Amino acid sequence: MTRILGAILGGGRSSRFGSDKALAMLDGVALIDRVAAALGQQVDALIVVGRSHPGLTAVADRPAPDLGPLGGIAGALHHAAAGGFDQLLTVPCDAPFLPYDLRRRLAAAGPAAFLGDLPVIGWWPAAAAPVLDHLLDGGGSRSVRAFADRIGAVAVADALIANVNTPDDLARLAAQRD
């Protein structure tokens, strides 16, 4: 049976948002808590990478902070491999409306897949950790797409998943909910 680890990438600086967007409220619930609730239903265990948050196991970016999403994915991949997980499902802390069947959609594309419109949402084999380490050590592109290309991940065209980068983005999402 395949064991799946869910990882919320939460180590960003929120520079465009102006404050810690993971803790920004939408309908009275912090964005990170919305993401945890949606992702937690689709995985065997759940972590947060690049920060701490009550109720979640915290994992550090790897090999160091400030490497963008790849540092978070690397930390999560190593945690997954060390914990005996086969697959990793990554999502950002600022995508509060994840589909209930996100895991199924990505897994159907193959052992490695990501959303073409939002590549930090990805389905990664835990065994890919050394490939990502090599990419981060090499000093080349530090984009999620570069990692995805190295492991042959499939870009999945899917309905756009809203993510919050600015206070205006959050206000638009809140207005759509009214």
Q: Binding-site residues for GTP, please?
A: 9-11, 21, 61, 94
Give the contacts of 13 (CB within 8 A, at least 6 positions apart): none
Annotated binding-site residue numbers for Mg(2+): 94
Backbone angles phi, psi at 49, to 5 degrees: -115, 135
- Cis status, amide bond into 99, omega within 30 of 0: no
Residue ranges of the annotated binding site are: 9-11, 21, 61, 94
> Rounded to an integer, what distance in angstroms lies between the CA atom of residue 131 and that of residue 81?
13
Name the 3-class secondary structure at 138. helix
Residues counted in the chain: 178
- DSSP code of 133? H
SS3 169: helix
Rounded CA separation 72/120 (Å): 10
* DSSP symbol at 53: B
